[in-house]
Structure 1
């Protein structure tokens, strides 16, 4: 009887942990207002300059998300993005993240125009990874909720740094 109860409890714990939200190794963090709903357990850069500094000093790629709060396409992507545990884990461990509701003065971050949502990767060598694109020819850096697997694949490409020694 006890073995059956313990087995059931173990299965229950395994199922619960599988469906739970991602929790960083360092433990649950207080949600930041800088996340704007894109991943409350992640540590977000406040400005582009700060994120570039973190990227360079920690030798991690930077993911920049351009979006608008009232854009339905941004809202749909944000929902899927924030609920995907694999994306949240990879971002927490291997990336510096920044989300912006305004354009930067760096024109390299809009190689094919200014639209939202748009996700651009920047190498720690401060090189914009224009080679990592989404599936649309007219909006090369746009992703839709159905493109999450492509985004994960592109995140893996961005992890392969252009210059390993800085």
Structure 2
């Protein structure tokens, strides 16, 4: 008789557990591990990585160099990291700035989440975010800098007007050199 009580008790516990699990899943508290969620397929990340989906971005540094030389356009290269809060804040300001987005069409654009082997792209260190301009002769424009003396090519969201001005400067330098 003791075994039958134990069996009934275990059956009641198992049924209660199952019903409680179903109840919490239906009320949105918690997904049961056995319930398979319907997920939408993850879309592939675009080359813009959120910096401006309407702009044309190059995939590699080598491709950017080729397009700059053949198209006689300056390169704007953005070094950043996906999990860096400073990079994320600058990306948001960059993407929301309509004039920068429009002016960006005149550049060969690339944003890198990795360092290149070209030492010219880190003249004062490998920090993020940093933005450099390269003219069509493939010369890094060391004269186009941000406002910080210890990180010459760093920009913050509050520097977005300076970045816009530097983009204009890079284009003007191109016109005067032609």
Structure 2 unmatched ranges of 5 or more: 1-43
Other structure's SS at 1:136 match: coil
Residues 83-102 of structure 1: matches in 2 within 5 Å? 83-92=96-105, 94-102=106-114
The alignment yields a C-alpha RMSD, in angstroms, of 1.3
1:158 aligns with 2:167: no
1:143–1:46 Cα change, 3 Å: same
Give the equivalent residue in structure 2 for 1:106: 118
Other structure's SS at 1:120 match: strand
Structure 1 unmatched ranges of 5 or more: 1-30
Runs of at least 4 residues of structure 1 off by over 4 A?
none
Aligned 8 A contact 1:125 1:163 in 2 = no
Distance 1:110 1:148 in 2: 21
Deviations 1:92-115 (A, max 9, x none): 1x1110000000000000000000
TM-score by length of 2: 0.73
